[in-house]
Structure 1
């Protein structure tokens, strides 16, 4: 059974897709009422599932007439997407952010499910048993090396 976060994420992605405009505007309180949850649950979903690594930009306006706008970033080529991911990696990257990038490549059909599983295994704390910040720096180096191979292979 899916949890409430998965259900809210699925709903928002479906609405973005159905509207065909690549974005939606929502009111946090209305969405919380729809799913009978607290508004902070909506914040959690948006902050963790609709990030740049996942291919989204989020804008918000607070106050009585406030809204949250979620925009799906359209990448025109695989090379542009991989270049953007390389930029997001930087000199170091946390495991959660590496996993978000891997998920995005899977979602964009740049890698297979099997490749994603292999990449996630290479990014795990248990695999990279080093103290911080060395672990995040090594993870970034490995991630960039994998992106380089993917960009030449596909």
Structure 2
């Protein structure tokens, strides 16, 4: 059985998919009521599953008429994707940012699930058994090389 965080994430992704503008505005309390959970659960889902690394921009307005706006950031062309990869990765990349980029590319349909799983296995801190900062440097070089190779197909 799926947990409440998974259900909230799926619900929000479905709303985004159905949105003509690629964005949704939600009221945190209303969503918490819908899923019979505390509002902090909504905050948790949004802050961990709708990050910039995963391809989302989140804005919030506090107060009585406050809302949370989630917008999907699209990766339109191969050139833009290459630029995005180089900007996101740089000379070093930590595991969280690397996994976020992989997630974003998988969600956008640019890489397949199997490719994403292989990339995750290769860049895992347990696989790259080095101390920091060498681990993040090697992860960046590996990830760039693998992604550019995959995208050149």
Question: Is the shorter-chain TM-score for this pair beyond 0.5, marking a shared fold?
Answer: yes
The whole-number CA distance in structure 1 between the counterparts of 2:43 and 2:85 is 24
- Runs of 4+ more than 6 Å apart: none
Normalising by structure 1, report the TM-score.
Answer: 0.91
Normalising by structure 2, report the TM-score.
Answer: 0.91
Tell me the alpha carbon deviations over residues 106-130 of structure 1, each in whole angstroms, 9 at most, x when there is no partner: 2222222221121111111111011
1:136 and 2:139 aligned: no
Give the count of matched residue pairs: 153
1:117 paired residue number: 117
Out of 7-16 and 138-147, give the one that drifted further: 138-147
2:41 paired residue number: 41
Please tell me the root mean square deviation across aligned C-alpha atoms, in Å. Answer: 1.5
By how many angstroms is 1:67 displaced?
0.9
By how many angstroms is 1:60 displaced?
0.9
- 1:71 alignment partner, SS class: strand
Q: Are 2:102 and 2:116, in contact at CA under 8 Å, matched by a contact in 1?
A: yes
2:70 paired residue number: 70
Superposed counterparts of 1:1-150, under 5 Å: 1-150=1-150
5+ unaligned residues in a row in structure 2: which ranges?
none
